[in-house]
């Protein structure tokens, strides 16, 4: 897998021009969703290198990260003369970078692509690490491939277009990176004021967070070993997210909120199974409860949540796999828990 360059932006137009010039191309296509076409594309539209780019727009939200949207992108590329030497620029959140990366990776067996993430979640998580894909058959990211963007350009100025909930959603992945890295970064994250985010400070923290992920991905690009550290919070989190999507009259959870709630449950398992310090668990859980609220489900839903966990791609056979911690930065991959203990963790979540 080709190594990608991650650029923490200081002058967006110059950096985009440089990235485009280093990708040999005959035509340029830009993928946006309805939101980023309105709020973010005008920032780039007047740039000289993009004046003749063809813009493909898909519907917003993760519910449209599906075969219908993917097919639309493929058809637009084909209908407007894309070749194996064309370039796709994905301008948007994680839905756009995931789907656009998969479209680019499979169209004519693969064309170059550049990710310009516009949400905090996409900057810290979806745009780095080579994971691309779509949701399928009611399951998150069920179909996809590993393939790096040639460049990822991160500019926190795009975050001015985000609402509070989407800032918090992305920050949950940063909190996860703090937990799997070191106590200093973890403490800095817990002390950041999410109600009045300082974008300059956030950019510095983002750069550190992205480096945590880059370091892990470089060691294990295809998630055979230590890359599983990045799954902390995600076994419960993906189950919560899927449950919210397929339960009538329930508001869909943003991915980062689901991960934050998953962290509560998996830190509880960590304290029971791998000796994670109780005081650090409670500090982290308190921060999550104060900044993310809660998620409503009952004990009657436990079996359904466990069933959803069984569909997680990290599993081997019938066993549910967790990434847990013995301490901040002390990672324990391939951990298992009984259904009884999983239900205990769900009890702990609901008791907060």
Residue 218 has a pLDDT of 87
- Helix 199-219 to helix 183-190 angle (10° resolution) is 140
SS3 of residue 57 by DSSP: strand
Q: Is the per-residue pLDDT at 224 higher than 90?
A: no
Range list for CATH 1.20.1090.10 in the chain: 165-351
Q: What percent of the chain is predicted at pLDDT more than 70?
A: 99
Tens digits of residue pLDDT in 207-221:
999 999 989 988 988
The dihedrals phi and psi of 312, each to the nearest 5 degrees, come to -65, 140
3-state secondary structure of 132: coil
The residues of the chain that CATH labels 3.40.50.1970 are: 5-162
Helix or strand holding residue 256 (H, E): helix 255-273
For residues 283 and 287, what is the distance between their CA atoms, to the nearest angstrom?
6
Q: Please answer whether residues 99 and 73 qualify as being in contact, where contact means their C-beta atoms are separated by less than 8 angstroms.
A: yes
Rounded CA gap, 67 and 58, in Å?
12
The pLDDT of residue 112 is: 97
- Cα–Cα nearest to 258, from 170, 321, 182, 196: 170
| pLDDT at residue 127 tops 90 | no
The token pair at 38 is 């309105």
d(CA 46, CA 65): 28
Quick one: tokens of 150?
Answer: 């040639």
* Contact of 42 with 11, CB cutoff 8 Å: no
The set of residues, in sequence order, having a beta carbon less than 8 Å from that of 46 and lying 6+ positions away, is none
Q: Is the pLDDT of residue 250 over 80?
A: yes
Please tell me the predicted confidence (pLDDT) of residue 200: 87
Asked if residues 139 and 241 have their Cβ atoms less than 8 Å apart, the reply is: no
Average pLDDT of the residues in 139-154: 93
Q: What is the pLDDT of residue 62?
A: 86
**Averaged pLDDT for residues 54-76:** 96
Q: Where are the extended beta strands (E) located within 10-67?
A: 28-33, 54-58
Q: How many CB atoms lie within 10 A of CB 249?
A: 4
Burial environment of residue 75 by CB neighbours within 10 A (0 to 12, 13 to 18, 19 or more):
exposed
Rounded distance between C-alpha atoms, residue 215 and residue 236, angstroms: 25
The predicted-structure confidence for 230-247, as pLDDT tens digits, reads as follows: 999 999 999 999 999 888
Q: What is the pTM for the complete model shown?
A: 0.87
∠ CA 198-203-204, rounded to 5°: 105
Alpha helices in 46-85 (DSSP H): 67-79
**What Å distances lie between residue 28 and 25, 35, 81, 107, 298, CA to CA?**
7, 21, 10, 14, 50
Q: What is the DSSP letter of 254?
A: P
For residue 238, the model assigns a pLDDT of 94
**What letters, b where the CB count within 10 A reaches 16 and e where it falls short, cover 212-221?**
bbbebbeeee
88 bridge partner residues:
29, 113
- Is the predicted pLDDT of residue 314 greater than 80, yes or no? no
118 band by pLDDT with thresholds 50, 70 and 90: very high
Q: What is the CATH number of domain 5-162?
A: 3.40.50.1970
Q: How far apart are CA 309 and CA 54, in angstroms?
A: 40
Q: What is the mean pLDDT of the chain?
A: 94
Superfamily classification of domain 165-351: Dehydroquinate synthase-like - alpha domain (1.20.1090.10)
- The β-bridge partners of 8 are 154
């Amino acid at each position: 897998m080709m190594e990608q360059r991650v650029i923490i932006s200081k002058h967006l137009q110059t950096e985009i021009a440089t990235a485009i010039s280093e990708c040999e191309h005959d035509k340029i296509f830009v993928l946006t969703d309805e939101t980023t076409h309105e709020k973010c594309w005008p920032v780039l539209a007047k740039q000289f290198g993009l004046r003749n780019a063809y813009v493909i727009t898909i519907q917003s939200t993760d519910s449209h990260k599906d075969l219908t949207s993917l097919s639309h992108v493929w058809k637009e590329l084909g209908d407007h003369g894309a070749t194996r030497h064309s370039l796709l620029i994905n301008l948007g959140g994680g839905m756009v970078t995931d789907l656009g990366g998969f479209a680019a990776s499979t169209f004519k067996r693969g064309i170059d692509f550049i990710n310009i993430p516009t949400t905090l979640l996409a900057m810290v998580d979806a745009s780095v690490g080579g994971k691309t894909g779509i949701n399928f058959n009611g399951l998150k990211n069920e179909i996809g491939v590993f393939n790096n963007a040639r460049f990822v350009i991160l500019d926190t100025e795009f975050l001015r277009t985000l609402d509070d909930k989407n800032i918090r959603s992305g920050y949950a992945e940063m909190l996860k990176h703090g937990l799997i890295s070191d106590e200093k970064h973890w403490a800095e994250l817990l002390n950041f004021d999410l109600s009045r985010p300082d974008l300059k400070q956030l950019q510095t923290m983002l750069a550190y967070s992205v480096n945590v992920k880059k370091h892990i991905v470089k060691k294990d690009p295809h998630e055979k070993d230590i890359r599983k550290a990045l799954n902390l919070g995600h076994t419960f989190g993906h189950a919560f997210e899927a449950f919210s999507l397929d339960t009538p009259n329930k508001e869909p959870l943003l991915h980062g909120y689901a991960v934050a709630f998953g962290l509560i449950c998996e830190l509880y398992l960590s304290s029971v199974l791998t000796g994670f310090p109780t005081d650090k668990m409670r500090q982290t859980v308190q921060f999550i409860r104060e900044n993310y609220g809660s998620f409503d489900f009952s004990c009657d839903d436990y079996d359904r949540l466990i069933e959803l966990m069984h569909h997680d791609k990290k599993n081997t056979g019938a066993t549910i796999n967790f990434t847990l911690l013995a301490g901040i930065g002390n990672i324990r991959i391939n951990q298992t828990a009984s259904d009884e203990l999983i239900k205990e963790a769900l009890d702990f979540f609901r008791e907060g």
